[in-house]
Structure 1
Amino acid sequence: MKEELKFSFEFFPSKNAEDEVAAWKSLKKLESFDPQFYSVTFGAGGGERIKTDSFVKKIKKESNVPVAGHLTCVDMSKDEINDIAVNWFEKGIKRIVALRGDVRKPGEQYKPHPDGYKNAADMTAGLKKLANFDISVAGYPEIHPDSKNKELDLDNLKRKVDAGADRIITQFFFDENIFLKFRDDIAKQGIKIQLLPGIMPIQNYKRVKNFSNKCGTSVPAWIEKEFEGSEDNPDVQKMIGSSIATDLVKKLQKEGVNEFHFYTLNKYELSYAVCSRLKSYKNFLKIKKEKEKGEIRI
């Protein structure tokens, strides 16, 4: 019997009140899919951190969906990170996405805070000592941009898992074979925790292409070809992006993957469209299978 299709969704703190209203609308729209959790990214700088804290607590208070707050090592001491985590735990927020975090300026090398956690593995171990947190960590099917090679990247992931991580959420990708190879690679490392594929429905091709270049995600030539001539037509781009994401998830379903983490960019439309199509597709397959068995007549 196939497992039920499950989803989770990532949001980021809004810059202003208008954007927050739009983000909240998106969050509430996606509640109809009974998400496993929402995650909220953690920005650099005190002001951004306050926004993350506020948004995480609002979700906890006003939504029935569990929320996972991101925490990063960048520019923070252990005490600062621990204080946020303990405060969340006391408020009933027991899920955390533990990340090393990105440097503020392109080209800079990451340097841990002198009194901080060295990396995500170190943070994961520290948070697990504080309380019984459910901790997600990041996985990179095409390796982290700062990693010298795949072997070192997998070693780093193994350290995060050994430190107590409960699941891995991957960087987004556009080729199912890249994810499946990554799944095989981590299995060879003895990693057995939950692996969630990160799905980025393309809303704006140029923006996603630039972001992909920065984070080391390859964009297949056929996808670039799909978007040719659509530069001035955002609606067409969204239709193409929705179709590509839906097909990617369907291919992964055939390989036994049943839970997916969507990077929403605070806009529900594409994630909503993809998840709706997937739910309909799943029901279609169920009816088709029952018909073939002679259990129902259509």
Structure 2
Amino acid sequence: MAAPRISFEFFPPKTLDASFRLWETTRMLAPLRPDFVSVTYGAGGTTRQLTHEAVTTIGREFGLNVAAHLTCVDASRAETLAIADSYARAGVREIVALRGDPPKGQGRFSARADGFAHSLELISALKENGQFTLRVGAYPERHPEAGDDDADIAWLKRKFEAGADSAITQFFFEAETFLRFRDKAEKAGIDAAKILPGIIPIENWEGIRRFAQATGAAVPAWMDEAFTKAARDGHEQLLATAICTELCDALMEEGVPALHFYTLNRAHMTRDVCYALGVTPQVALQKVA
């Protein structure tokens, strides 16, 4: 079985310590030659400038293909497209176009009168702009705002019709979750090869479990029990690496060619899983001063 194509997600640092951790994470993972790396955008646009700085620095210093997250939150259409233009001028050619999460304290997304109402409008405008490869979000388990189990598939199809080139899913814990979603997408006329499964290496189970509950990802009972026992025996990292590797193996055996890792700006487990999947380091990409 051939090694998969890979990509990574980072988030922009807010402190000096976090900046060093992102730098070290990128330095360790860059030699694996990902198809692209993405940099997230904080809720309510709170990391807008930090995201721009992280995107441009990673691209310049490591020679990686960087995809910048861009959302519809708390900005006019003109402001949002100006941000996109600034990325294009910096040599960025990929954008992850999302509606975005509302600012803290706001229960639901509320579009500005002069802003994009939802991700479809943003995707269409960026497609018309013609400067970017466009990636979008997808939900293998029901989005908290979806009306029924078919709504996420229908919305994803509209994203592709609006101009999306590929989609990255929310993370999940069992291969069947993604495979069922992929099959439904194919039946709806979506090219399943354009859907990248989002994989989250579990560095801290309690934190990831809370994150999953907040985003609507189902937490399997067997996994909760396994991590409880592993914590007692001091084998959490060993278990986490094995679970993540087995999940990726199961997807690859079903013909999934590419995997997108949510690194949480921590490199070791992502790197170890990639090694186990046959993804080997190539020439280091960091520039020499």
Question: Fold-level match, TM-score > 0.5?
Answer: yes
RMSD value over aligned CA atoms? 1.8
Structure 1 unaligned blocks of 5 or more: 282-298
Determine if contact 1:144/1:153 at 8 Å carries over to the other structure.
Answer: yes
Match in the other structure for 1:183: 182
CA contact (8 A) 2:44 2:102 kept: no
TM-score (norm 2): 0.92
Aligned-partner Cα distance in 2 for 1:109–1:103: 6
Residue 69 (structure 2) pairs with residue 70 (structure 1): yes
CA distance in 1, matches of 2:24, 2:77: 34
For 1:167, the equivalent position in structure 2 comes to 166
Report how many aligned residue pairs link the two structures: 279
Matched ranges for 1:274-289 at <5 A: 274-279=273-278
Structure-2 separation of matches of 1:89 and 1:261: 23
TM-aligned CA deviation for residue 237 of structure 1:
2.0
- Does the 8 Å contact 1:145/1:216 carry over to 2? yes
Runs (5+) with no aligned partner, structure 2: 281-289
> What do residues 72-123 of structure 1 show as CA deviations (whole Å, max 9, x unaligned)?
1111111111001011112110100001111223671211121111111110
Aligned to 1:120: 119
Match of 1:218 in 2: 218
Counterpart in the other structure of 2:228: 228
**Amino acid aligned to 1:35:** P
Task: Return the alpha-carbon distance in structure 1 between the equivalents of residues 115 and 168 of structure 2.
Answer: 23
SS of 1:150's equivalent?
coil
Show the counterpart of 1:200: 200
Distance change in 2, residues 1:26/1:280 (3 Å): closer
CA distance in 2, matches of 1:62, 1:274: 25
What amino acid does structure 2 have at the position aligned with 1:220?
Answer: P
Task: Kindly indicate whether the alpha-carbon contact (under 8 Å) linking 1:86 and 1:130 is maintained by their aligned counterparts in 2.
Answer: no
Q: Could you tell me which amino acid in structure 2 is paired with residue 254 of structure 1?
A: E
TM-score, length-normalised on structure 1?
A: 0.89
Q: Deviations over 1:213-245 (max 9, x none)?
A: 011101111111111144478x73222111101
Q: Which structure has more RCO (C-alpha within 8 Å, separation ≥ 6)? A: 2
Indicate the residue corresponding to 1:14 in structure 2.
13
* 1:155 counterpart letter in structure 2: A
Larger Rg: 1
SS in structure 2 at match of 1:228 = helix
User: What's the counterpart of residue 42 of structure 1?
Assistant: 41
Secondary structure at the aligned position of 2:47 is classed as: helix
The corresponding residue for 1:272 is: 271
State the match for 1:52 in structure 2: 51
What is the identity, as a one-letter code, of the residue corresponding to 1:119?
H
CA contact (8 A) 1:169 1:261 kept: yes
Residues 3, 279 of structure 2: 8 Å contact kept: no
